[in-house]
Amino acid sequence: MATAVNQSSVDVPTPDGTADAYLVHPESPGPHPAVLLYMDAFGPRPGLKAMADRIAAAGYTVLLPNILYRAGRAPLVELPDFITPERRSELFETILPAAQSLTPELAARDAGAFLDWLAASPLANDGPVGVTGYCMGAGFALRAAAAYPERVAAMAGFHGAYLASEAPDSPHLGAGRITAELYFGHADQDASLPPEQIDRLEKALTNAGVRHHAAVYAGARHGFTQVDTASYDAEAAERHWTALLDLFGRNL
């Protein structure tokens, strides 16, 4: 029997304003270990909130913030119930400026605010925090693990984008500060994370002595966990759930 959860909308104060967010936690008495869920570009919506619900049902208090809050409350654009490849391109054109304006410095500041909010919540315990991210959110999750190593004990990223580029502020360059255990589920033939970036990420984590496991999900496309998109792959998505909950179970 699935664990019942309580869902609510919350506002999280940050140094730059207020981030709207989705909060979900088990109905059973808490507090529970905290998880910070980083959205993909399309943001908090029914499909992504259902993913937060599933994590919460496994025994966690989950915060899903709108990390593009500086551009407005979610949804930033009107989203269809199902995102086709054609609509995906159109939506990205609208969302991209807001996503590109979220610099690593702003992302780190926001991560601190989200973690502070969870630490102050009576619904979350004072133990280590887990972080997971999807698509662009995987990069933000990786940055959070590097920026707050004393708080983040487990970090996962799925079909992550540009995790180990040649940019001077690429997320993988923070590997030396990470103390968490990491898991990555890469999409096969993902243009946003080609093989050379997968190799570069692997080398950075290995050289830094970071506990991690990375798997390339054969045949899976970028976005394979997102049920409301044409990229969804049920088998790969279930594989992701097993890996994610095992990671959190070991560390939280």
Domain count, the chain: 1
CATH (domain of 96): 3.40.50.1820
Contact predicate 18/40, CB 8 Å:
no
What pLDDT is recorded for position 108?
97
**Collapsed DSSP state (helix, strand, coil) of residue 2:** coil
pTM, to two decimals:
0.98
* Entry field: residues in the chain: 252
Beta bridge partners of 38: 133
In angstroms, the first-to-last Cα distance of the chain is 22
> Which of 192, 216, 222, 220 shows the shortest CA–CA distance to 202?
216
Q: What is the pLDDT of residue 2?
A: 66
What is the tens place of the pLDDT at every residue in 30-72?
899 999 999 999 999 999 999 999 999 999 999 999 999 999 9
Assigned token pair, 122:
């009576």
- Sort strands 5-14 and 17-26 into parallel, antiparallel or unpaired: antiparallel
Range of the domain at 114: 5-251
